[in-house]
Chain A
């Protein structure tokens, strides 16, 4: 599913974000990416949905060779990857429904299917009754649920979540985690970067620790391993 071979990433300002990372993530895995701030977690995530491209090494995502991908092919890779961010990144002037439906408009889905599927995922994340609300009218947890609904609406094979609980209180965070686990049970790979020690230690999954651009630990059912 995701296959990294000796990946290096050097930014134009000379910063070495990744210094030779190799890892394989299989279908249906749930992986935490942990590590101190600035260790390369975000770069690791960005490479997967091709916001950045590797300076050196080979990276395959869903069979696409990310390093050699032509720019005009990027949208088609992203349609098979759902992305979730700490700051939700919803379109501020669209309702919850429109935000989710937008991802289906992009793939030119038939109108009927779009309506049905959008409401279906909004129900799944528990926001069926709030589909007409604008992001500003929703709480942080609800906005993140809309973002999750948007990420899964096209049935992607992978979800990349960069600190999805970073802005949420513990109770709301657990709600989001339950939802992600449910999505993982349904067959979607989840890669989640996090600083949340409690979640990693209680909801045990594979843990990949990145420090100073290198993978220093890769452990099934691992611990967070850092002081909070």
Chain B
């Protein structure tokens, strides 16, 4: 094929999108709708996954010190905590660090709210974060922390917290959620493929007569196929890029709107950048592939004139 002819095929492919305006619109809509549902579900699955990760990592013990604890008593307590056999690590967080962490959880709205409590007015105590080797032993470890606490008067800690009761069922639940999510995503991808293939097939049937005329004039199969290939790739790319943009910006808006409320529940969504890094290549890849695959496969059926 001459380079000039390749240029012609690309030009024809682009023009065909406009010449067959309504069918192009139908194809773009069906790709958009399928990929939109798929994208929305992938985001849901990502967030469930992230939430599961968060819950798992929260299988740690937080022990909040008394407000008036001295440096010396804190150091003594820390040594005792480190001597518990189940404990993997002990991290000391100052009152300021705790405030900082809370402020990050609450997002931009929370920052303003907590500005008044800086320095002397900080209502939060210092704390220890205690991680165990095996999440299943967290209950036993917590009991020992309580014991260390109540060994002195007043108790060393005003509060000892850990995910009581949830630990045992947590792993089963998160695993199940991940597997179901994967199955639904795969199912949606297949559905999207059928929907798009049907639309493209309809386009081709409409143009069966055109194809037979081209053949009568002496066009080779490759000559007929090329513009369809370009058209399919372009429609796939354009509609999936549109889908990716709508999904990502919609998600960004969702994050912005819900940041404060979810922050109060200590839940953080997958960030917009993380989501885009997965959604954009996934959507555009599937969309372009579907466009090309649909047009190439369908044209082949009608080339045997």
Contacts and interface: CB of A to CB of B under 8 A. Distances in A.
Interface of A: 49, 51, 72, 74-79, 83, 89-93, 102-103, 105-108, 110-111, 150, 154
B114 interface: no
Given A108-B2, A108-B5, A111-B4, A103 B19 contact: no
A110 B8 CA distance: 12
Contact of B19 (A77, A78, A93, A106): A93
Interface in B212-232: 213-221, 223
B5 A102 contact: no
Given A89-B213, A91-B210, A93-B20, A106 B218 contact: yes
A106 B219 contact: yes
Nearest to B4: A111
Nearest to B7: A111
Given A89-B213, A91-B213, A93-B19, A108 B4 contact: yes
Contacts of B1: 108
Given A75-B223, A79-B218, 9 more contacts: A49-B216, A51-B216, A75-B218, A78-B215, A79-B217, A91-B214, A103-B218, A106-B220, A108-B4
A79 B213 CA distance: 13
A77 B209 CA distance: 20
A90 B214 CA distance: 9
A90 B212 CA distance: 11
A9 to B, nearest CB: 17
Nearest to B304: A71
Contact of B218 (A72, A76, A89, A93): A76
Contacts of A108: 1-2, 4-5
Contact of B217 (A51, A92, A106, A111): A106
A160 B8 CA distance: 29
Interface string B278-305: 0000000000000000000000000001
A103 B217 contact: yes
B7 to A, nearest CB: 10
B218 A105 contact: no
